[in-house]
Structure 1
Amino acid sequence: MKKLLIVGVTIGTLLGTAACSNTEDKAEPKSEQVSEKTTKTEINQVKTINNIEMKITGDKIVKDDTLKTDQELLEVSFDIKNKSKSDYGVGSGDFYVKDKDGKKYLMYGNEDNFGAVIKTKEELKGKGYYAIPKGAKDLVVVYDKAVDHSKSEKTIEWNVGTPK
């Protein structure tokens, strides 16, 4: 009788353990699916190139009646600090936006686009404007200095996700 009881408890424990482990396996893919849908952004992440610290502090869709009906205007806020030993020129035209398919969207002509020469140890804050398709998702802002096409400098990118 004792042996039968021990065998029964052992079988019950094994079945319970197997049932719990199957439940955990089923739960994991759901959490992976959620993380795939939620894209992490790099807003407020500082990236440096040639001792120039660049940060995107925000992005949003703004109203603009001059665009085509299938476009929206993306406003990107920048904060750029010159930590180098010489002046550095930078502006909205040095950046572009690309979507998940790699299509590029260049600076949109807006009088509020930023651009200036930043003196050593100084900072420039400004906004850049880019015409993107309505409903564009998974966007990336790329720094690719417009004046220097030698490609001796690498580009840097920020994943800004889907603007609101």
Structure 2
Amino acid sequence: MDFTDIKISVEKYSSEIIDYDYLIELLNNYMDEKTPENEAAIKEHVASSNSVEELDLRRLLEGILAGHFHKHFTSQSFNDVIKEIHKENQELELNRWAYENGYNSEDILEAYHLFIPGVELKDNPSLNSKINEINIKLDLKFKKKKELKDKLIMKFQEMDK
């Protein structure tokens, strides 16, 4: 077996891979001593992360600074907190999107929670039913119904990347 391609790929993406054990160590140090140096070390370590991860980590740092977290993170507690922060960020983004498009954010959030990535709308009767319910509430005509359905699915898929 030729490992050359694997080695090249690992070298290529190594700058983009975050060492989460080290990140947890840095976060715990920051929790103990909220110094600019400790904060800079975290930001430097996650500099290669994507914008979604960066936003989640920024919110986590804000939470530490605000005193919401006192106990050192373990891998599990870190993952749990990041998942919760990510979920909150997604809901904020959906609320904003719903408002900008003139939709009821609660209805859009309910629809998003029914969304199953990779599953066609016709194979997801719960989501299809919820979208139809939204269409009825908005009293949309046929063309607008299809437009709403397409916009929702595109937004949900975009958020799930």
* TM-score, normalised by the number of residues in structure 2: 0.26
Larger Rg: 1
Say which structure is richer in strand. 1
Structure with more of its chain in helix, by fraction: 2
Q: Which has the higher contact order (CA 8 A, sep 6+)?
A: 1
Q: TM-score of the superposition, structure 1-length normalised? A: 0.25
